[in-house]
């Protein structure tokens, strides 16, 4: 059970870090461009990257 808990906690930390990176990247695009279009494109490609491919 200890091994499972360690793996689960490690995955949790990794997932939180990934979400924080995506959020920071979105804020960075907004600060660099000030453009809603750039913000939308960052969001679109973030979702496109995580979608399953055949």
Question: What residue ranges do the domains of the chain occupy?
Answer: 22-54
CA distance 26 to 24: 5
**What pLDDT does 7 receive?**
97
Q: Tokens 């907004």 sit at which residue?
A: 30
Instruction: Annotate 14-26 with DSSP letters as a single string.
Output: HHHHHHHHHHHHH
Contacts of 32 (CB under 8 A, 6+ apart): 38
**What pLDDT does 13 receive?**
97
**What pLDDT does 29 receive?**
87
**What pLDDT does 54 receive?**
59
Classify 4 as helix, strand or coil: helix
All residue ranges of the chain with pLDDT < 50 are: none
Q: What angle do CA 36, 40, 46 make, to 5 degrees?
A: 145
């Amino acid at each position: 059970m200890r091994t499972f808990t360690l793996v689960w906690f490690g995955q949790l930390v990794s997932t939180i870090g990934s979400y924080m990176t995506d959020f920071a990247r979105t804020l960075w695009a907004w600060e660099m461009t000030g453009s809603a279009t750039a913000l939308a494109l960052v969001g679109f490609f973030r979702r496109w990257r995580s979608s399953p491919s055949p």
